[in-house]
């Protein structure tokens, strides 16, 4: 039996994170881009599928957090602009 290597990979085009056990390239679920597997896009690699799943969830949560922080900075900036305009 051939043991599969599960990889948590990130799409270079849209930033979508997913699990693949492909060896050479994978197709992004979100944007459909066919992406060659190389070290720069493999975030985590394991023979254990549940570990890969765990890591995927952890990474997604982290990225959501980063996005929220970025969004709140943008919100602050846009509020400053709005208050300037209403004066
Ligand atoms: Zn994509």
Which pLDDT tens digit goes with each residue over 27-83?
999 999 999 999 999 999 999 999 999 999 999 999 899 989 999 988 888 887 766
For ligand 1, the distance from its centroid to the CA atom of residue 17, given in whole angstroms, is 8
pTM for this model (two decimals): 0.77
* Run of H or E residues at 27: strand 25-27
For ligand 1, the distance from its centroid to the CA atom of residue 33, given in whole angstroms, is 6
Where are the domains positioned within the chain?
A: 6-86
The Cα 65–Cα 69 span in angstroms is 6
For ligand 1, the distance from its centroid to the CA atom of residue 20, given in whole angstroms, is 13
For ligand 1, the distance from its centroid to the CA atom of residue 3, given in whole angstroms, is 27
Q: Residues for the chain: how many in total?
A: 87
In this structure, which residues have their CB less than 5 angstroms from ion ligand 1?
Answer: 11, 13-14, 16, 28, 30-31, 33
């Amino acid at each position: 039996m051939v043991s599969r290597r599960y990889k948590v990979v990130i799409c270079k085009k849209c930033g979508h994170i997913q699990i693949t056990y492909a060896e050479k390239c994978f197709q992004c679920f979100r944007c459909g881009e066919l992406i060659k597997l190389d070290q720069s896009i493999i975030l985590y690699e394991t023979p254990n599928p549940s570990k890969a799943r765990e890591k995927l969830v952890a990474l997604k949560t982290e990225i959501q957090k980063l996005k929220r922080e970025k969004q709140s900075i943008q919100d602050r900036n846009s509020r400053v602009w709005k208050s300037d305009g209403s004066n």
